Amino acid sequence: MLARLSTVTALKIADAARLLGVSDDTVRRWIDAGKIASVTEAGRIAIEGAELARFARSLADDSAPGVVAQASARNRFTGIVTAVLRDTVMAQVELQCGPYRVVSLMSREAADQLQLEPGVVAVASIKSTNVVVEVLA
């Protein structure tokens, strides 16, 4: 899907749409309506990772949970990091995965090693009460 992001860069509209769980056309309409700020990179419209994180968080604030018809013990959600709170030992990492907000608690060392910050694309692997955050290679 995306190349490894060592620093936050601009995302293609198709990648932003995939992370938000919507169509490319929906992202373009949001850009045209001024809901998402865009940049031009190599002659193409793109969205800065931090801007996408801001917009994804605003979507989560407006979304209501749906009715669960079935559930799985194993889940992997690709999303974008929207917030990282670090103290001396632990870190709280928030991801927006489509319409879903996922929060993980991990060691600060792990968050630093993964270079987690708003705008980084990551995967939340969930089993039971444990959430593991992975960075795409």
Q: What is the pLDDT of residue 114?
A: 93
For 103-115, write each residue's pLDDT tens digit. 999 999 999 999 9
**pLDDT range class, residue 4, cuts 50, 70, 90:** very low
For 62-105, write each residue's pLDDT tens digit. 544 555 444 453 677 889 999 999 999 999 999 999 888 999 99
Q: Which of 4-13, 30-39, 123-132 has the lowest mean pLDDT?
A: 4-13
pTM of the model: 0.63
Nearest to 87 by CA among 114, 115, 102, 106: 106
Q: In the CATH scheme, what is the code of domain 74-135?
A: 2.40.50.100
